[in-house]
Chains A and B, each alone.
Chain A
Amino acid sequence: MSSSGLRDSHIQLNEDGSLRHFLTIDGLSQSLLTEIMETAERFIDFGQRKIKKAPLLRGYTIVNLFFEPSTRTRTTFEIAAKRLSADVINLSAQRSSTSKGETLLDTARNLQAMHADMLIVRDSHAGAAHLIATHLNNQLQVVNAGDGRHAHPTQAMLDMFTIRQHKPDFSKLAVAIVGDVLHSRVARSQIQALVILGVPDIRVIGPNTLIPTDVESLGVTAHTSMDTGLDNVDVVIMLRLQRERMTGQLIASEQEYFKTWGLTEERMAAANKDAIVMHPGPINRGLEISSSMADSSKSLILPQVTNGIAIRMSVLSMVMSGAEGAGE
Chain B
Amino acid sequence: MRIAIQGGLLVDPKTGTEKKQNVYINKGIIEAIGKEPAWTNKKVTNIDATDLIVSPGFVDLRARMREPGHEHKATLATETRAAVLAGITSLCMPPDCIPAIDTPAIAQMIRQRANELGGAKVYPIAALTHGLQGSVLTDMKALVDAGCVGVSNALAPLDNTLVMRRALQYATTFDVLALIYPQNASLRGNGVAHEGRVSTRLGLPASPVAAEIVGLARDLALVETTGARAHFCGISSARAVEMIQEARVRGLSVTADVTIAHLHLTEDSLLSFDTNCHVEPPFRSEQDRQALVAAVVDGTITAICTDHQPHEPEAKLTPFSESEPGTSSLEVLLPLALATGKQTQMSLATTISMLTYGPARVLNIEAGEISVGQRADVCIFDRDEQWVLDENSINSAGKNSPFLGDTLTGKIKQVICEGKLITI
B406 within 8 A of A: yes
B31 within 8 A of A: no
Partner of A148, one of B197, B268, B319: B319
Partner of B405, one of A2, A130, A148, A151: A2
Given contacts A126-B202, A131-B318, contact A2 B272 (CB under 8 A): no
The residue in chain A whose Cβ has the minimal distance to the Cβ of B192 is: A126
B197 proximity list for chain A (CB < 8 A): 213-214, 217
A327 within 8 A of B: no
Q: Which A66-102 residues sit within 8 Å CB-CB of chain B?
A: 97
Partner of B268, one of A5, A8, A135: A5
Least CB distance from A155 to B in Å reads 14
Least CB distance from A211 to B in Å reads 9
Given contacts A1-B265, A26-B201, A218-B200, contact A127 B273 (CB under 8 A): yes
Least CB distance from A19 to B in Å reads 18
Q: Which interface class (under 10, 10 to 19, 20 to 34, 35 or more) fits A?
A: 35 or more
B269 near A5 (CB under 8 angstroms)?
A: yes
Q: Which interface class (under 10, 10 to 19, 20 to 34, 35 or more) fits B?
A: 35 or more
A214 proximity list for chain B (CB < 8 A): 196-197, 200
A135 near B317 (CB under 8 angstroms)?
A: yes
Partner of B272, one of A6, A103, A104, A148: A6
Q: Which B251-270 residues sit within 8 Å CB-CB of chain A?
A: 264-266, 268-270
Q: Which A100-126 residues sit within 8 Å CB-CB of chain B?
A: 103-105, 123, 125-126
Residue of B196, B202, B264, B319 contacting most chain A CB atoms (<10 Å): B319
The residue in chain B whose Cβ has the minimal distance to the Cβ of A95 is: B322
A3 within 8 A of B: yes
Partner of B319, one of A7, A9, A131, A185: A131
A127 near B403 (CB under 8 angstroms)?
A: no
B196 near A150 (CB under 8 angstroms)?
A: no
A147 within 8 A of B: yes
Residue of A8, A104, A148, A151 contacting most chain B CB atoms (<10 Å): A148
Given contacts A213-B200, A217-B201, contact A8 B272 (CB under 8 A): yes
What 1/0 flags go to B304-332 for Cβ under 8 Å of A? 00000000001001111110000000000
Q: Which B336-391 residues sit within 8 Å CB-CB of chain A?
A: 336, 339
B406 proximity list for chain A (CB < 8 A): 1-2
Least CB distance from A250 to B in Å reads 12
Least CB distance from A22 to B in Å reads 16
Q: How far apart are the CA atoms of A150 and B205 in the complex, in Å?
A: 10
Q: Which B123-164 residues sit within 8 Å CB-CB of chain A?
A: none
B202 proximity list for chain A (CB < 8 A): 126-127, 150
Q: How far apart are the CA atoms of A213 and B402 in the complex, in Å?
A: 25
The residue in chain A whose Cβ has the minimal distance to the Cβ of B274 is: A5
Q: How far apart are the CA atoms of A299 and B261 in the complex, in Å?
A: 51
Q: How far apart are the CA atoms of A150 and B272 in the complex, in Å?
A: 12
The residue in chain B whose Cβ has the minimal distance to the Cβ of A9 is: B272
A125 near B322 (CB under 8 angstroms)?
A: yes
Residue of B199, B314, B322, B403 contacting most chain A CB atoms (<10 Å): B322
Q: How far apart are the CA atoms of A150 and B203 in the complex, in Å?
A: 4
Q: How far apart are the CA atoms of A9 and B269 in the complex, in Å?
A: 12
A126 near B272 (CB under 8 angstroms)?
A: no
Q: How far apart are the CA atoms of A185 and B205 in the complex, in Å?
A: 12
Given contacts A1-B339, A149-B203, A217-B201, contact A127 B319 (CB under 8 A): yes
A212 within 8 A of B: yes
Partner of A104, one of B198, B270, B319, B405: B319
Partner of A3, one of B266, B314, B322, B336: B266
A312 within 8 A of B: no
A217 near B200 (CB under 8 angstroms)?
A: yes
B208 within 8 A of A: yes
What 1/0 flags go to A179-193 for Cβ under 8 Å of B? 000000100100000
Partner of B320, one of A7, A26, A127, A188: A127
A212 proximity list for chain B (CB < 8 A): 199-200, 206
B339 proximity list for chain A (CB < 8 A): 1
A32 within 8 A of B: no
New A-B pairs, 9, CB < 8 Å, besides A131-B317, A148-B203, A149-B203: A2-B405, A3-B265, A5-B269, A5-B270, A5-B272, A126-B319, A127-B319, A127-B321, A150-B203
5 example contacts (A-B, Cβ-Cβ < 8 A) are as follows A5-B271, A5-B272, A105-B318, A127-B320, A149-B204
**A residues adjacent to B (C-beta < 8 A):** 1-3, 5-9, 26, 97, 103-105, 123, 125-128, 130-131, 134-135, 147-151, 185, 188, 212-215, 217-218
Which 3 pairs of residues, A with B, have the shortest CB-CB distance? A149-B203, A5-B271, A125-B319
